[in-house]
Amino acid sequence: MHDPASSRFGDSCLSPEPPAVHAKVLRDELVSAAEWVAQYLNELPQGPVSRPLPPQERSLLREGRLRQRGGEFDSVLDFVRNEIAPYPTGNGHPAFFAWINSPPAPAGIIAELLACAINATCGMGESALMDLERGTVRMLADLAGLPDGAGGVLTSGGSMANLLALATARTWFLTRRGSGTGPDFDRDHARLTLYYSAQAHMSVAKAAACIGLPAHRLRPVATDTHDRLDPAALRAAVTADLDEGLLPFCTVTTLGTTATGAVDPLEPATDLCRSVGMWHHADGAWGGLGAGVPALAPRYAGVGGVDSLTVDPHKTLSVPVGCGALLVPNPEHLHTAFAHQASYLTAGEPDALQWLSHATIELTRPGTRALGLWATLHHLGRDGVTGLIEHYLALADRLRERITAEPRLQLLAGGPWPVACFRITDPDGGDPDALHTRIARRVQDNRRAYLATVAVHDRTVLRAALCNYRTTTDDLELLIREVLHAADAEQSAAGTDQPPQHR
């Protein structure tokens, strides 16, 4: 109900039009929005996990035709309530087990709203939220087990953090060789080779492509039977490339692989990197904060020795989406890679070189990342972070027990991060990979639970990840039931005479 006449700017402003609104109108809409948010989150577990957008609605959203005259201010809430919220992908619902998509932490939701109002651009200039970002990055580095003095930057997510890491590693490597710029750059850059486990997230290869590495300079390295990077295979690949006259510049280990939750051995990778002058980046988008969790800590021995570490608070900690981080024991490396001067940015600012824009790719950056992260960490405390991860580990243990106890299901890989990969024990006839894809699709279509498939050792398997703090053991039972129902339905559809063995 935009009313220009009653706006604060009504009399004196040359153009009393949107986006300005009267203070009371804004207040009332904020209250309505807050009430809707609380109700939405409260009722979410009772609704279907996901609901696909009908084709007609989808076309309308995609059409993208802007009307000539502006609309009512209060139509924003109506639009979200009616056109967006009814069609969730599912993350947020406690029976959603696909991928690693967490629900938003309540403290983070409030913080994002508040940060939006302040609208600090955490790139140039100095603001309290920039200092808060530096502080929260320190908290993450500390939780991750990095040494004192570590720093870094918040990013939009893990993919962006991995991109920053590879760009930083490249600059570090070439600068040390004296070919960071100048005539030798082309020669050396063309010979850079990158190593990562065959289980690494695809964002690593994507980041490599973005910094200009061709596919034939990428080395996915074999993994052991527990899906961990095999240090002997890594060493062999690096040695072979050195013999060829190539330049191994970076190894990426993964802490919590996306498919099965494996943690690569850190110390052997660091040792190799040190001995041949490579950068060691650890991708801990999911599992980067395991060092402080007693059940996981032994696998994180040596984590303080990595050169950079990706963490994704929007996965592990339920910070609202849009919060990743690149952490580095030596923050100078980021500045070497990303500091660029411009006359329009530095005038009169003695501290300009410390701006966060000099440690990353982005210039204008949202303060919602820092405040949402701070609020979530502040609410959790150190014990809460450990407790949250332990809660997921306990749920995963329970799920694996249930799968093991169920004769028709076979537990495959999974762990130590909280994920279970499993199959139907006896998929009679046909193509078992296609069958598991169809079972996952049926579970999704039934909308009471949601899980996805993943390829493990060249087989398509069902995969359930635990990353929703609202998930209970009842949701685990529901998932098992839904999978068995779907398997029964597939069996009937295949025309076998056997009666369904499960309710």
Residue numbers at the binding site for ligand PLP (CB under 6 A): 100, 157-159, 162, 201, 203, 254, 258, 283, 285-286, 312, 324
State the minimum distance, in angstroms, from the CB of residue 288 to ligand PLP: 9
State the minimum distance, in angstroms, from the CB of residue 323 to ligand PLP: 9
Residue 90 or 180: which CB sits closer to ligand PLP? Answer: 90
Give the distance, in angstroms, between the CA of residue 466 and the centroid of all CA atoms in the same chain. 14
State the minimum distance, in angstroms, from the CB of residue 202 to ligand PLP: 8
Contact 267, 302 (CB under 8 A): yes
Residue 254 or 460: which CB sits closer to ligand PLP? Answer: 254
State the minimum distance, in angstroms, from the CB of residue 12 to ligand PLP: 46
Nearest residue to 360 (alpha-carbon basis) of 315, 387, 412, 325: 325
Q: Which two tokens stand for residue 280?
A: 């060691």
- Strand bridging mode 324-328 / 308-311: antiparallel
State the minimum distance, in angstroms, from the CB of residue 226 to ligand PLP: 16
State the minimum distance, in angstroms, from the CB of residue 315 to ligand PLP: 6
- Strand bridging mode 419-424 / 452-456: unpaired
State the minimum distance, in angstroms, from the CB of residue 146 to ligand PLP: 18
State the minimum distance, in angstroms, from the CB of residue 320 to ligand PLP: 12
For the chain, how far is it from start to end, CA to CA, in angstroms?
A: 53
Tally the C-alpha atoms within 13 A of residue 298's C-alpha that lie toward its C-beta: 2
**What contacts 327, CB < 8 A, 6 or more positions away?**
137, 140, 141, 144, 146, 150, 151, 152, 288, 308, 309, 310, 311
Residue nearest to ligand PLP (CB): 158
Residue 129 or 285: which CB sits closer to ligand PLP? Answer: 285
Residue 310 or 491: which CB sits closer to ligand PLP? Answer: 310
Q: Which two tokens stand for residue 51?
A: 């609901």
The phi and psi torsions of 460 (rounded to 5 degrees) equal -80, 125
Amino acid identity of residue 141, one-letter, is A
Q: Which two tokens stand for residue 106?
A: 């309540």
Residue 124 or 207: which CB sits closer to ligand PLP? Answer: 207
Residue 159 or 491: which CB sits closer to ligand PLP? Answer: 159
Structure letter (DSSP) for residue 229: B
**What is the distance between the alpha carbons of residues 162 and 137, in angstroms, rounded to a whole number?**
16
Residue 203 or 468: which CB sits closer to ligand PLP? Answer: 203
Structure letter (DSSP) for residue 470: T
Give the distance, in angstroms, between the CA of residue 68 and the centroid of all CA atoms in the same chain. 38
Residue 252 or 272: which CB sits closer to ligand PLP? Answer: 252
**What is the distance between the alpha carbons of residues 320 and 104, in angstroms, rounded to a whole number?**
5
Residue 124 or 396: which CB sits closer to ligand PLP? Answer: 396
Element (H, E) at 411: strand 409-411
Residue 258 or 468: which CB sits closer to ligand PLP? Answer: 258
**What is the distance between the alpha carbons of residues 180 and 459, in angstroms, rounded to a whole number?**
43
State the minimum distance, in angstroms, from the CB of residue 370 to ligand PLP: 17
- Strand bridging mode 151-155 / 324-328: antiparallel
- Got the DSSP string for 167-221? HHHHHHHHHHHT-SSSTHHHHHHTTEEEEEETTS-HHHHHHHHHTT--GGGEEEE
State the minimum distance, in angstroms, from the CB of residue 396 to ligand PLP: 15
Residue 7 or 316: which CB sits closer to ligand PLP? Answer: 316
State the minimum distance, in angstroms, from the CB of residue 160 to ligand PLP: 6
- Strand bridging mode 247-254 / 192-197: parallel
Residue with tokens 């603001």: 127
